[in-house]
Structure 1
Amino acid sequence: YQNANNSVRVNDEFMRAVEDGTEFGLRARETGEVIETVDARELFTKISEAAWACADPGLQYDDTINDWHTNPETGRITASNPCSEYMSLDNSSCNLASLNLLKFLKDDDTFDAPLFAKAVDLIITAMDISICFADFPTEPIGKTTRDYRQLGIGYANLGALLMAMGLGYDSDAGRAMAGTITSLMTGQSYKRSAELAGVVGPYAGYARNADAHKRVMRKHQAANDVVRTYSVSDSQVHKLATKAWADVLKLGEKNGFRNAQASVLAPTGTIGFMMDCDTTGIEPDFSLVKFKKLVGGGSMQIVNQTIPRALRKLGYQEESVEAIVEFIAENGHVIDAPGLKTEHYEIFDTAMGARALKPMGHVRMMAACQPFLSGAISKTVNLPESATVEEIEDIYLQSWKLGLKATAVYRDNCKVGQPLSGGKGENKGTDSNASSEAPEAAEPQVIEKIVYAPTRKRLPKSRVSRTTSFTVGGAEGYMTSGAHDDGELGEVFLKLGKQGSTLAGVMDAFSIAVSIGLQYGVPLETYVSKFTNLRFEPAGLTDDPDVRMSQSIMDYIFRRLALDYLTFEDRSMLGIYSAEERQRHLETGSY
C-alpha cells in the first residue's frame, strides 16, 4: 500500500443507504441482478478504517461524475487515472497543462483576469494542436483521444496566490477567488474550443453528444451565476467569467465544440517545482518553512517566499515584516510572532503544523472549484495523526453532499514513509478537529517481528567479464563489467584519469558502491533509471555507435550497461535502444 493510489467508486444509492443505515445490494456485473446485500454503513466504515490505516482508498462519486459527463451517448465514465482528476471515456487520454497563478498577480495585488484569459486561449490552442502529433500507448486510446480531443488545463500555486492577496485558504473570500478563477479558466477554455470548432470543426463524437454537452455547459454557467464575490479583484474575475460562459453557449450553439473536456486540477507535483511554485495544484502550503538541498551538499532553510508580500499587503511596515519572517524561520509558524495581529493568523494556515487547516477547509475549497471543472480535482485532505475513523467518514460523506467527484485523505504518519513532513513536533498542533482518542478501528496485533536481512550474492572466483573502452566529450576511460554464471551483472570497475588522482579515487569508490549494491540485489534497472540523463561535463559525442551522444560519463556508463545486460523489454521501458534497433524503427516503425 506504500505507493498505491486506490479508489472505491460509490453511487448515490449507496451513500443514501449509509445515511439511512439500510442495506445495499451488490449486483452481478453482467446481468445487474442483486446477488448479495450488505450493511451499507458497516461497509462504509470498513472503507474509512482502511483509509485511516494507510490513506487508501479514496472515494469517487459515480452519479455526480456522470451527471457532468459531456459524452453519455458514447459511454459512461467508469474509471479515472490513479490521481482521480481525469474522468472520461474508457480508452482515452488527456493532455495536461497548468498555469502558475502567482504570475498573474499585479503589483497592486489584484488578479490580472484579462491576461489570464489570453494565456488560457494560447494554451488551449497549443494543447489541441498537440493531439494531432501525439503518440499513444495503444490504438484504441489513440482513436478515442483523437475523436474526442480531451484537454486538461489547470493551475498551480493557488495557495501562494491567496496568501499573497491576504486571503485565508479556509475563508469565504479565499474560496470565492479560487472559484471565480476556476470558472474563468474553464469558461474561457470552452469559448476557445467553440472558436476552434468554427474553424476546423467540432470533435468527431460531438454530433451524437451535442445535447448532453450543451446541458453540461449550462450547468457550469448556472454555477457561475450564483457565486458570491467579496472584493474588487474577485468581482472583476467573475465579471469576465460570466461573459465567457455567455459566449460559450452562444458559440457552442453555432459551432459546437472542438474538445469534449477542457479542464482538470492535477497535482502538478513535478511541474510545480519547475515553475518555481510555493504550492502545488489547488493545495495550500504544506509548511511555512522548507529545507532545500544544495548541489554542493548541505541544505538551506527557506521561508515561504510569499509571506513578505502578504505581510506588506496587510499593511505591515518593513521592520515588522523582517521581524515576523525571522520568527517564522526560527519557529515554523506564526503563533505569537512579534507584531502580527491574531486576525491575520488564518492567512498563514498550512496543511500541517501548529496552525493546521481543518480537514473540512480542504473539502470546502474543492467544493468551491469543482462546479467549474470538466474533470475532477487531485488533492489530499490532510488530517493530523490523532484523527479518528469517524472524522474520515464525515469527510467522505460531506464531500458527496457538497458535489465533489472524488476525495482522498491522508492521516499524518499513516504510511511507513511519506513524501512530506513537518518539523519536530509540528503535527501535534492546534487543529480543532484533532482528537486525542484512539480510533475504534482494530489495530493488528504484532505476534512476531520478522527482520529482513539482505544476502550478498558474490561472484565466482572465475567469471566472464567485458572490458569497454570509451570516449565522452574527449575524455577517455575504461569499464570492466563482470557477470554471474547466469549472465546477471555483478560488478563494475571504472578507470578514468591517472592512477592516484582524485577522479580515479572517486570512480574506484563509486565502482565498489555499485558492485556491492548489485550483489545485494539492487536491480540494474534502478541504477540505470537513476544515473542516465545526469548532465555534467565532460559530455557530448562518444565513440560508441549505440550511444552517439552522452550528457555525462555516468549517462554513458549506465546506457552501455543497459545495452549489454538488460533485456529489450526492460531497456525499452527506459527508452534505451541500440543503433540497429533505432534504424529498424526508422525503416519499419517498429523496434
Structure 2
Amino acid sequence: MKIARHFTQKGKDIYSDIIFEKRTSKITNTDGSVAFEANEVEVPSSWSNVATDIMAQKYFRKAGVPRALKPVAEENIPDWLRRQEADEEQLAKFPKEERYTREMSAKQVMHRLAGTWTYWGYKHNYFTTEEDARAFYDELCYMLMNQMAAPNSPQWFNTGLHWAYGVDGPSQGHFYIDPVTGKLVKSKSSYEHPQPHACFIQAVDDDLVNAGGIMDLWVREARLFKYGSGTGSNFSALRGENERLSGGGKSSGLMSFLKIGDTAAGAIKSGGTTRRAAKMVCLDIDHPDVEQFIDWKVTEEAKVASLVAGSKAIRKVINEVFGAVNGCVKQPSLLDPKQNKNLALALKKARAANVPDSYVQRIIHLARQGFTEIDFEEYDTDWTSKAYLTVAGQNSNNSLRLSNAFLKAVEENKDWELVRRIDGKVHKTMPARDLFERLSYAAWSCADPGLQFDTTINEWHTCPEDGRINASNPCSEYMFLDDTACNLASLNMMKFYDAAKNRLDVEAYKHAIRIWTVVLEISVLMAQFPSQRIAELSYKFRTLGLGYANLGTWLMVSGIPYNSAQANAITGAVTAILTGVSYKTSAELASELGPFPGFEKNREHMLRVIRNHRRAAYNSPDSEYEGLSIFPMGINGKFCPDYLIKDAKTAWDDALTLGEKHGYRNAQTTVIAPTGTIGLLMDCDTTGIEPDFALVKFKKLAGGGYFKIINKSVPQALEHLGYGKDQITKIIEYVVGSATFAGAPHVNRENLKLRGFTDEVLDTVEESLPTAFDINYVFNRYVVGESFLLNQLKIPKEVFERPDFNLLQHLGFTAEQVMQANEAICGTMMIEGAPFLKDEHLPVFDCANKCGRRGKRFIPYQAHLNVMAAAQPFISGAISKTINMPYEATVEDVKQAYMASWKLMIKANALYRDGSKLSQPLSSVSENIFESLEESEVEELVSAPAALKAQQVAEKIVEKIIVRKMAERRRLPGRRSGYTQKAVIGGHKVYLRTGEYEDGSLGEIFLDMHKEGAAFRSLMNGFAIAVSLGLQYGVPLEEFVEAFVFTKFEPNGVVQGHDRVKMATSVMDFIFRELAITYLDRNDLAHVSPEALVVDQTTTKDEVIDEEELTDLVEPIGNPEPAISVGKTTTRSGLQVKVSANQIQEARIKGYEGTSCPECSSMTLVRNGSCLKCETCGATTGCS
C-alpha cells in the first residue's frame, strides 16, 4: 500500500514541534501512602498529569529493558527497522544490578509500538516501498505522541517488547497462524508474537469435562483474565434445571454452573489484582432457566441486604444475652430465664429478630464457659466488601438475548414458550409481558441484566454462513462469531477539530482512519491467541475494532446540544465516515493481500450489509433496505453540514465499489468502545460516544492534590454561540468561582478582619482558594494555623479539634451567608442561572448528571438512545454505552426505554438508574427521605461500618450532624442539680457525682475512690476536672463516650450496685457507660435494657413470656468457667461516618459515582460504557 504523509514531513524530526519535559509520576492512596511513584518520566509538556500517570504506571515496561542494545540482522529488513536485543558485551561493562532498567520516556513506548507494527507490515509486504513504511512509522509516532489515537491496553502492555528490547519468555499455551504458510503453530515464546487483543467471545458446549465444554471454559477464561483481557459467552446450549441427563439423572441447571464460573473469575481477580475480571454472560430469552437468570443479581443483592441487616441484629442479641447473664460464673441462676427476667427478655427479642435458636444457645453455652464477649463481624454494602464476596453473580455483566419474536409477543400481549435444550419440547408457557416486566424490574433494581437484540444483530451479520452471532465481549461493543477476538483502537475526535473554522478536519480524520485500519490489520497478522480455535477463526475473519472518543466534547465545543436532531445527524455522519473509510481501506488491503479467508463463502451476505450501510448514509426509505425487519436512523440532511454528508456518502460509495471488486480484508472494522484508560491517556474529556458527566473537572497537580478547572469545551462553545469575551469571563466565574475574597458577599477580607483575621493569614487562606471545592475546607487549623486560632481568635484547642468544628459558623456566619460566599468564591459548578446566558443555549451544556449542588438539568435517557441510534447503522459491531436514568425513573420508564431501543435498531442496551446498585450511595432524593426522619429514629438507624462507605438502603442509614457554636466557657449555676452513683467495680468502690445545667444537660463530674490511695485518688480527681472543663467549653459528651468506653485497665470486672451496667473493662468504661445511659439514652451500652427493668416490676397479660419455651434455649451444659474474653464487637465512630458522608457528598456533587476506586481509593469513579472508570488512576472494571 502507498502511505501518504499528512502530519509529518520526510526527513524532518517527527517530534521537532513537541516540547518534552521530565516529571514525577505519583499516585497516592487516600491515607497519604504512595501507591506508585516514578521519577524522571519524559512526556510532552502538553500532556496532563493524569495522562502522565497512565503512561508511567500502566504502560511503561517496568523491568527487563537492557541499557545497551544491538540490532539483529534480518534479510530484507532495513537497518532502521531491525529488531533489537540486549548487547551482552556492552552490558558486561555495567554492574550486574544496573544492566537492565525500565522505560522512562514516552518516546520509547511510541517507538516500540509504531516500530513493531511497521516491522511486521514491512516483513509481510503491506507497503509498496520502504518510504511508505517510513511514512507509516512517522505518522503513527506523531499521532500517538499528540494523543490523536490510541490502541487498546494489551497493545501498550505487550506489543514491541520482543522487537524493541529482545524481551522473551516461555510460551504460556498460546497459538498463532503462520502468515506465510497459513498453518496453526503453537507459540514457543510469550513475546515474539504479542497478544494485542482485548475482546474475546468464546463458545461453550453442553458438556461437563471435555474440550469446549463447561469446565474447559473456566480454564480458557482464566488464561484471558490473567493477561487483562475480557471474554463473553452465550450459555444457552446448557440444559435447564431438571432436564434429563444421558445417565438417567437430572441436570442441576444452568445457574449452578454459572456460579462456578463466577467464583472462578472472582478468584483470579483476587489472586493478581483488585480489578474485577471482565466477563459477559449471555442467555437467550427462551431458555428454561431464564427466570432464575433474570433474578440472579436481584436475589444476590437481597442476600447482601440480609447479611448487613442480620449481622447487626445478631450482634445486638449477642450483647444483650451476654449482658443478661453477666456474672453467671458465681451466680448460675442467671442462666435460668425463669429466674432471670433480663435473660428472658433478651431471648424473646432474639426470637422476634428471627435469630436462630441454635445461635442463641451457642452464646449461652459460651457464657457458661466464662466467655463475656466474642468477635462477631458485621457486614456493609461496599461493593468490595465481604458481603458482596459472599454472594454469587458479582463478577460478570449479564445480558439477555431478545428476538423480534419475543418483543412482538410483548407488544401483542401473547404467550411465550421456554424451550428445553435437549428434546426441544416446551418447558413452560407464560405471558411474554410477565417476562418483560420481570427483566425490566431487575434492570431497574440492580442495573442487570442488559439487553442484546438478537434479531437486529444477526440481520447485520456479515458472515452468517459460518454461524450466528450469539454473544459479545463484556462491554457489548464486539459482536461476532464464537471463538473470535478483536483488537481495539480509538481516535480522539477533538484532535481533528478545526477550532478556527468550527468544523471537523475531514481529510485528517480520513487519513487517520486509513492508517489505524492498517495498524489493526497488522495486529491480527502478528498476534498470538489463547486457544487453537480462537487463533484459527480470528485469522480467518480478521475482525477489527476501530472507534472514536471525545464525541460529546466535540459536540459541546461546536455549540451543539447532545439532545438534539443536529447532534444525531452529525454523529451519524462522522460514524459513517469512520466505517466507510475503514471498509474502503480494508478493500484496498484485499486488493493487495487478498480478502479474509471466510469472505467468498459469505460474499453476498457481506455486500448486502455494506449496501445497507450505504443506504443509511443516503437516508434511503425503509423499502430499499435488504433483509431487515427493524430499520435504521439515516442521516438527516436538514441537520447535518453538507461537507460531512458529502464525505459520508463518498466513503460508502468507495467502500461498496472496491469491495465488490476486491472483497474485504476484514469481516468487521469498527466498534464504539468505552475507551476508559486510553481515553485518560489521550486527555479526553468524554469517553466513547458518551456526553460529559460534569462541567467542572478536578485536574491532578504534579505535586499532589487537584485544581479546579472548567471544561475547556465550555468557553469555546460560548464563543461559537456568539458571547463576548467579558460575558464569557463572567459566565465562567459563575461556574468555577472567582477564587478570591474580593467582591465576595459576607465572607470577605473586610468582615474577616472585623472578626480578628490578619492580612498575613488572609493571604494564606486566599492562596488556597483556587484548589478549594468549598470555602469551609480552607478555614481550618491546618491552613490558618493552630497558634492563630489559639492566640488571635482565642478559640480553645479542645474546641477547634472537635471533628464537627466549623470555623466560619463559629465566627458567626450563617449557613446561608456561607453558601452565598461559597458560590461566589468556589463557584456553583453549574451553568444554570449564569449571567448573560440565554435559556435556548442551556441544552448545549447539559451533562449526563446534574451539575453542582443545585443543578436541575441533565440529559434525558431518550437522548442517549437517539445518539446510539444515529451511530449504530454505521458501526460493524455495536456500541458500549451507559443509558443514564435518574433515581426517580420507574419500571415503566425502563420498559419504554427497552422498547424504544429495539425500534431504534440499537444492538445492545445497558441501563443504569441512579441509585440502583445497593453499593451506591443514595441519590439526593432518597437522602432527603431519610433526613425527614425524627432524631429518635435516626439514632436507631445509624450503623457505622455500613455507613462508612455508603448510606445504605438495607439499613436506612442516616447521619445528622449538629454543630454547636461555643465561643466561651458556659458556666454552671451556683445551685445545680445532679445525682450521686455508687458502684463497686472488681471489688473497688467508686463514687460518681454529676452537676447539671438548667436544661438538664451535663456540665461537670466528680470522681472519688477514697480507699485507693492518694495518688490514684488525685489522678481521678484531675481527670474529672479535665472532663468538666471540656464539657463547659462545648466538647460533646458523645466524644468523651466514644473515646473512653471499652478502655481496659485495672480495676475491672463485675459491677455491683448499678441496675443496668453489670460489667466494666475499667473505671473509665463504667463512668462513661453510666453517663451515656443517663444523659444520651445510649441503651446499647447498658447490659440491662430499660424494658427489662419494667419486666422486673410488672408484666402485662400481652407481655407474658413463655418461660418453658425460653428455658429450652438454655441447655444445661455444666458449671460455668472463669471469665474469658476473645474480643468484642465494635462499631466505627460517628466521626468516621461524618467524614465518609462528606466525601460521598463531595464526590457526587463533582459528578462522580460516590464510591471509592478499588485500586487507588480515590473517590473519582465515573460510569464508562457498562462499567466504571477511575479518573485518577485509570483503573476500569471492564476490558478497555
TM-score (norm 2): 0.36
CA distance in 1 between counterparts of 2:530 and 2:847 reads 39
Q: Which runs of 5+ in 2 are unaligned?
A: 1-296, 298-382, 384-393, 620-634, 737-826, 851-855, 929-951, 958-1157, 1162-1184
2:730 aligned to 317, 323, 341, which one? 323
In the other structure, the counterpart of 2:448 is: 56
Aligned to 1:120: 513
Structure 1: how far apart are the matches of 2:893 and 2:525?
46
Is the alpha carbon distance of 1:530 and 1:333 closer, same or farther for their aligned partners in structure 2, counting shifts above 3 Å? closer
Asked if 1:10 corresponds to 2:402, the answer is: yes
What's 2:432 paired with? 40
Alignment partner, residue 453 of structure 1: none
In structure 1, what is the equivalent of residue 582 of structure 2?
A: 189
Partners of 2:558 and 2:927 in 1: CA distance = 26
Say whether the 8 Å CA contact 1:350–1:357 is kept in structure 2. yes
- Seen in structure 2, the aligned counterparts of structure 1 residues 94 and 364 have a Cα distance that, compared at 3 Å, is same
- Separation of aligned partners in 1, 2:927 and 2:868: 23
* Aligned-residue offset at 1:413: 1.9
Q: Where does residue 829 of structure 2 map in the other structure?
A: 332
Aligned mates of 1:153, 1:290 — CA distance in 2: 28
Paired positions, count: 435
Match of 2:648 in 1: 241
Q: Secondary structure at the match of 1:300?
A: strand
Partner of 2:842: 345
What residue in structure 1 maps to residue 980 of structure 2? none
Contact 1:168/1:174 (<8 A) preserved = yes
Q: 1:382 corresponds to which letter in structure 2?
A: N
Q: Which structure 2 residues correspond to residues 280-299 of structure 1 after superposition, within 5 A?
A: 280-294=687-701, 296-299=703-706
Q: Corresponding residue for 1:553?
A: none
Separation in 1, partners of 2:494, 2:666: 27
* Equivalent AA in structure 1 for residue 397 of structure 2: N
Aligned to 2:502: 109
For 1:317, give the aligned amino acid.
G
Match status 1:229 vs 2:637: yes
Matches within 5 A, 1:103-182: 103-106=495-498, 107-182=500-575
Residue 865 (structure 2) pairs with residue 363 (structure 1): yes
Q: For residue 333 of structure 1, report the CA deviation from its aligned partner.
A: 1.8
Provide closer, same or farther for how the CA distance between residues 22 and 371 of structure 1 changes in structure 2, counting only shifts above 3 A.
same
Pick one of 408, 411, 419 that aligns with 1:27: 419
1:382 is paired with a residue whose SS is strand
Distance 1:221-1:101 versus aligned 2 partners, 3 A rule: same
Distance 2:506 2:470 in 1: 35
Q: Offset of 1:28 from its aligned partner?
A: 2.4
| Residues 246, 31 of structure 1: alpha-carbon distance in 2 compared, 3 angstrom cutoff | farther
How many angstroms does 1:166 deviate by?
Answer: 0.7
Give the secondary-structure state (helix, strand or coil) at the position aligned to 2:716.
Answer: helix
Other structure's SS at 1:99 match: strand
SS in 1 for 2:672: coil
Distance in 2 between residues matched to 1:327 and 1:426, nearest whole Å:
28
Deviations 1:494-547 (A, max 9, x none): xxxxxxxxxxxxxxxxxxxxxxxxxxxxxxxxxx9989xxxxxxxxxxxxxxxx
The 3-state SS of whatever aligns with 1:73 is helix
Q: 2:482 aligns with which of 85, 90, 114?
A: 90
TM-score for the superposition, normalised by structure 1: 0.70
Does structure 1 retain, via aligned residues, the 8 Å contact 2:918–2:953? no
1:279 is matched with 686
Structure-1 separation of matches of 2:422 and 2:473? 24
Of the candidates 350, 356, 374, which is equivalent to residue 876 of structure 2? 374
1:390–1:193 distance in 2 versus 1, CA, 3 Å: same
> Equivalent of 2:670, from 263, 288, 296?
263
- Deviation (angstroms), 1:352: 0.8
Q: Describe how 1:488-499 pairs up with structure 2 within 5 A.
A: none
1:407 is aligned to 2:904: no
- Structure 1 residue 30: deviation in Å? 4.3
Q: Deviations over 1:317-370 (max 9, x none)?
A: 111111111212211222111001110000001111021111111001100110
Partner Cα separation in structure 1 for residue 602 and residue 423 of structure 2 = 26
Alpha-carbon separation, structure 2, partners of 1:254 and 1:398: 38
Supply the distance in 1 between the matched residues of 2:615 and 2:881 (Cα, whole angstroms): 25
**SS across alignment from 1:387:** coil
Structure 2 letter corresponding to 1:303? I
CA contact (8 A) 2:922 2:953 kept: no
User: How far off its partner does 1:10 sit?
Assistant: 0.7
C-alpha distance in 1, partners of 2:545/2:679? Answer: 16
Per-residue Cα deviation, 1:366-398 (whole angstroms, up to 9, x for no partner): 001100000111001101111111101100010
Give the CA deviation at 1:200. Answer: 0.2
Pick closer, same or farther for the CA change 1:445–1:416 going to 2, 3 Å.
Answer: closer
Establish whether residue 303 from structure 1 lines up as the match of residue 710 from structure 2: yes
- Distance in 1 between the 2:576 and 2:922 partners? 32
Secondary structure in structure 1 of the residue aligned to 2:547: strand
- Given candidates 599, 603, 607, the residue that maps to 1:214 is 607
- Following superposition of structure 1 onto structure 2, how do residues 385-404 of structure 1 map, counting pairs within 5 Å? 385-404=887-906
Looking at structure 2, the residues matched to 389 and 344 of structure 1 have their Cα atoms a distance apart, in angstroms, of: 32
The alpha-carbon deviation at position 33 of structure 1 amounts to 3.5
SS of structure 2 residue aligned to 1:93: strand
Of 49-58 and 72-81, more deviation after overlay is shown by 49-58
- Kindly report the root-mean-square deviation, in angstroms, between the aligned alpha carbons of the 2 structures: 2.5
In the TM superposition, residue 48 of structure 1 has moved relative to its aligned partner by 1.1
How has the CA–CA distance of structure 1 residues 153 and 529 changed in structure 2, closer, same or farther, with 3 Å as cutoff?
Answer: same
Partners of 2:644 and 2:590 in 1: CA distance: 25
Aligned to 1:513: none
Task: Please state whether the residue corresponding to 1:169 is helix, strand or coil.
Answer: coil
List gaps (5 residues or longer) in structure 1: 429-443, 450-527, 532-591
| Map of 2:283 onto structure 1 | none
Letter in 1 for 2:848: A
Once residues 209 and 47 of structure 1 are traced to their aligned partners in structure 2, the CA distance between those partners, rounded to angstroms, is 35
Q: 1:448 to 1:328 in 2, by over 3 A?
A: closer
| 2:888 counterpart letter in structure 1 | S
Distance 1:224 1:31, change over 3 A: farther
Work out whether residues 479 and 877 of structure 2, in 8 Å CA contact, stay in contact via their aligned partners in 1.
yes
The CA distance in 1 between the partners of 2:953 and 2:909, in whole Å, is 30
Q: Distance in 2 between matches of 1:427 and 1:313?
A: 39
Which of 657, 665, 677 is matched with 1:250 structurally?
657
2-side partners of 1:131 and 1:32: how far apart?
Answer: 39
CA contact (8 A) 1:180 1:234 kept: no
In the aligned structure 2, how far is the partner of 1:426 from the partner of 1:341? Answer: 32
